[in-house]
Amino acid sequence: MTIQRTETRPFDDQKPGTSGLRKKTAHFRQPHYLENFIQAVFNAAPELRGQTLVLGGDGRFYNRQAIQVILKMAAANGIGKVLLGRGGLLSTPAASCLIRKHGAAGGIILSASHNPGGAEGDFGVKYNIANGGPAPEKVTESIYWHARNLTTYAISDAADLNIDQPGLQQLETMTVEIVDPVTDYAALMEELFDFDLIRDRIAQKKLRFCFDAMHAVTGPYAVEIFHHRLGVAREALIHCQPLEDFGGAHPDPNLAHAKHLVAIMQGAGAPDLGAASDGDGDRNMIMGAGCFVTPSDSLALLAANAQCAPGYREGLRGVARSMPTSQAVDMVARQAGLPCYETPTGWKFFGNLLDADKITLCGEESFGTGSSHIREKDGIWAVLFWLNILASRQQPVRELLDQHWRRYGRHYYSRHDYEGIAKERAQTLMTELRAQLSQLAGRRFGELVLAGADDFSYTDPVDRSVSQHQGIRLLFEDGSRIVFRLSGTGTEGATLRLYLERYQNDQARLHDDTQQTLAPLAAIAEQVAHIQHHTGRTGPDVIT
Secondary structure of 188-236 in HEC code, one letter for each residue: HHHHHCCHHHHHHHHHCCCCCEEEECCCCCHHHHHHHHHHHHCCCCHHH
- Helices 379-393 and 183-192, axial angle in degrees (round to 10): 30
The reported pLDDT for the residue numbered 317 is: 98
Q: 113, 296, 371, 480: which one is catalytic?
A: 113
CA distance 455 to 472: 4
Give the 3-state secondary structure of residue 111.
coil
Edge to edge, the sheet with strand 319-322 lists 340-343, 319-322, 361-364, 368-371
CA distance 440 to 482: 13
Predicted structure pTM score: 0.95
The reported pLDDT for the residue numbered 70 is: 98
Please tell me the class of the 3-181 domain: alpha beta
The reported pLDDT for the residue numbered 346 is: 87
What is the CB-side half-sphere exposure of residue 542 using CA atoms within 13 A?
16
Domain 410-543 has CATH 3.30.310.50: yes
Domains 3-181 and 185-408 share a fold: yes
- Helices 379-393 and 195-203, axial angle in degrees (round to 10): 70
42 backbone dihedrals φ, ψ, rounded to 5°: -65, -35
The reported pLDDT for the residue numbered 19 is: 84
368-371 vs 361-364, strand pairing mode: antiparallel
CB within 8 A of 337, min separation 6: which ones? none
CA distance 283 to 202: 24
Please give the C-alpha separations between residue 272 and each of 209, 396, 398, in angstroms, as whole numbers: 6, 6, 9
SS (H, E, C) 274-294: EEEECCCCCCEEEEECCEEEC
Three-point CA angle 49, 134, 31, nearest 5°: 65
Q: Could you tell me the mean pLDDT of each successive run of 10 residues in the chain, 544 residues long?
A: 93 91 97 98 98 98 98 98 98 98 98 94 97 94 97 97 97 97 98 98 98 98 98 98 95 92 96 97 97 96 98 97 97 98 93 96 96 98 98 98 97 94 94 94 93 96 92 95 83 87 94 96 96 93 86
Per-domain residue ranges for the chain?
Answer: 3-181, 185-408, 410-543
Edge to edge, the sheet with strand 237-238 lists 237-238, 209-212, 273-277, 284-288, 291-293
Length of the chain measured in residues: 544
List helix spans (H) across 121-162.
137-148
The hierarchical CATH code for the domain 185-408 is 3.40.120.10
The reported pLDDT for the residue numbered 200 is: 98
The reported pLDDT for the residue numbered 488 is: 62
What is the CB-side half-sphere exposure of residue 531 using CA atoms within 13 A?
23
Burial zone of 428 (CB within 10 Å; 0-12 exposed, 13-18 middle, 19+ buried):
middle
CA distance 367 to 154: 38
Contact between 275 and 212 under an 8 Å Cβ cutoff? The reply is yes
Provide the β-strand partners of residue 293.
286
The reported pLDDT for the residue numbered 18 is: 76
Contact between 62 and 123 under an 8 Å Cβ cutoff? The reply is yes
474 backbone dihedrals φ, ψ, rounded to 5°: -110, 120
Q: Could you tell me where the beta strands, DSSP code E, fall in 338-427?
A: 340-343, 361-364, 368-371, 410-421
Contact between 397 and 291 under an 8 Å Cβ cutoff? The reply is yes
Catalytic, 457? Answer: no
* Other CB atoms within 10 A of residue 131 CB: 18
CA distance 526 to 36: 43
The reported pLDDT for the residue numbered 304 is: 98
Instruction: Classify residue 414 by its DSSP letter.
Output: E
* Other CB atoms within 10 A of residue 532 CB: 12
238 backbone dihedrals φ, ψ, rounded to 5°: -110, 155
CA distance 461 to 46: 28
CA distance 13 to 21: 9
